[in-house]
Amino acid sequence: MQRPILEVKNLSTTFHTFRGVIHAVSGVSFHLNEGEILGIVGESGSGKTVANLSLLHLVEGGVVQADVMRYQDIDLSSLKEKEMEKLRGAEISMIFQDPMSSLNPLYTIGHQIEESLKLHTKLNRKERRARMIDLLSKVGISDPESRLKSYPFQYSGGMRQRIIIAIALAVNPKIIIADEPTTALDVTVQAQVLRLLTDLIHNESRSMILITHDLGVVSKTTDRVVVMYAGKAMESGITKDVIHEPMHPYTDGLLRSIPRFHENQERLYQIPGMVPRAYDLPKGCRFEPRCPKAQPICKNEEPPVRKMSNGREIACFFPISKG
Ligand SMILES: Nc1ncnc2c1ncn2[C@@H]1O[C@H](COP(=O)(O)OP(=O)(O)OP(=O)(O)O)[C@@H](O)[C@H]1O
Ligand SMILES: [Mg+2]
């Protein structure tokens, strides 16, 4: 089997605040294979953003530790800030969760894409222009030549998100990390933008981590998935397997609370209770207080990650089995 392009083992990120220590990410492992789309899914606050920002040295005020953080042959944890900056520009692009903050309202779209090209490529003026026009057409913006002269406010939300994707693609990165790239858009535009993004990844053999809280998005667009809960990876595996036969009670609960997965159910299931606070986590399994299958051991001990068949991994003492 091919070696993954990106590999993370036992990643933990903590913040020391006046309320106490916040364990935003606790011992999470995942990998990204070349050419695939990996989904990272979980409720708000589960550590999806922090885990990915940690890889790129973009966590402010947090302490990041990991046994392995590797991109190709590069050990990410040992990179100096200058080297990391270069890598972020050229090899791993991130589409940030707050799309509006990624564009500067004071400059034209053309100016903003060109700045990135100037910084990270050796293209001359004419080549940069050609590349920009090509990029805008690729992301489905008609009349790209005149559109380059527009300012962000002259674009609709969906178009702005296409521009952000164009900027992320401008330098030809090997990996794109897209953090909730479509959450701010309405449902039809969401589908179009997701489709565009996944086509661009597959057609140009890039790899992508797609962060989302939406299991519907995961099932439609990703090859593999990691399900996070309160800073931990609860379950991971091939998306189809995880969606069709969830093994972790948390994944099962998440799936049962989505209308389209259980259309003939009278009332939608809701996982009881609340997500624990990040500075006050249960001692054993973090899902134990809400888990329908919990036993005494779950309260006292953290379940180790178990490797199952077909690359599935699961952190649960009592996984669901269909057999
Ligand atoms: N700079 C920070 N200082 C202190 N705590 C932080 C900081 N950044 C994130 N956290 C905390 O870390 C935890 C994980 O946050 P994170 O943003 O990764 O969640 P998320 O899964 O991306 O959620 P969402 O779906 O809302 O984007 C949360 O409890 C959050 O409050
Ligand atoms: Mg987030």
Over range 155-165, report the average pLDDT: 88
Closest ligand to residue 53's CA: 1
Q: Does the model's pTM come out above 0.85?
A: yes
CATH of the domain at 58: 3.40.50.300
Answer whether residue 293 shows pLDDT above 90. yes
Does residue 302 belong to any structural domain of this protein? yes
DSSP H helices, 121-267, are 125-138, 144-147, 157-170, 187-203, 215-221, 239-244, 249-256
pLDDT tens digits along 74-95:
999 999 999 999 999 889 999 9
Closest residue by CA, ligand 1 atom 16: 47
Q: How far is the CA of 60 from the centre of ligand 2 (A)?
A: 14
Lowest-pLDDT range, 90-94, 113-117, 150-154, 155-159?
155-159
Question: How many domains does the chain fold into?
Answer: 1
Over range 166-184, report the average pLDDT: 90
Closest residue by CA, ligand 1 atom 26: 44
Over range 305-312, report the average pLDDT: 95
pLDDT for 263:
58
pLDDT tens digits along 252-268:
999 998 876 555 656 67
Is 250 a pocket residue for ligand 1 (Cβ < 6 Å)?
A: no
Does residue 182 belong to any structural domain of this protein? no
Over range 110-136, report the average pLDDT: 92
Does residue 89 belong to any structural domain of this protein? no
For 90-101, the DSSP string reads HTEEEE-S-GGG
The whole domain housing 225 covers 6-79+206-314
Does residue 152 belong to any structural domain of this protein? no
Closest residue by CA, ligand 1 atom 25: 44
Decide if 123 contacts 117 (C-beta within 8 A): yes
Q: How far is the CA of 31 from the centre of ligand 2 (A)?
A: 19
Is 14 a pocket residue for ligand 1 (Cβ < 6 Å)?
A: no
**For residue 72, what pLDDT band results from cuts at 50, 70 and 90?**
very high
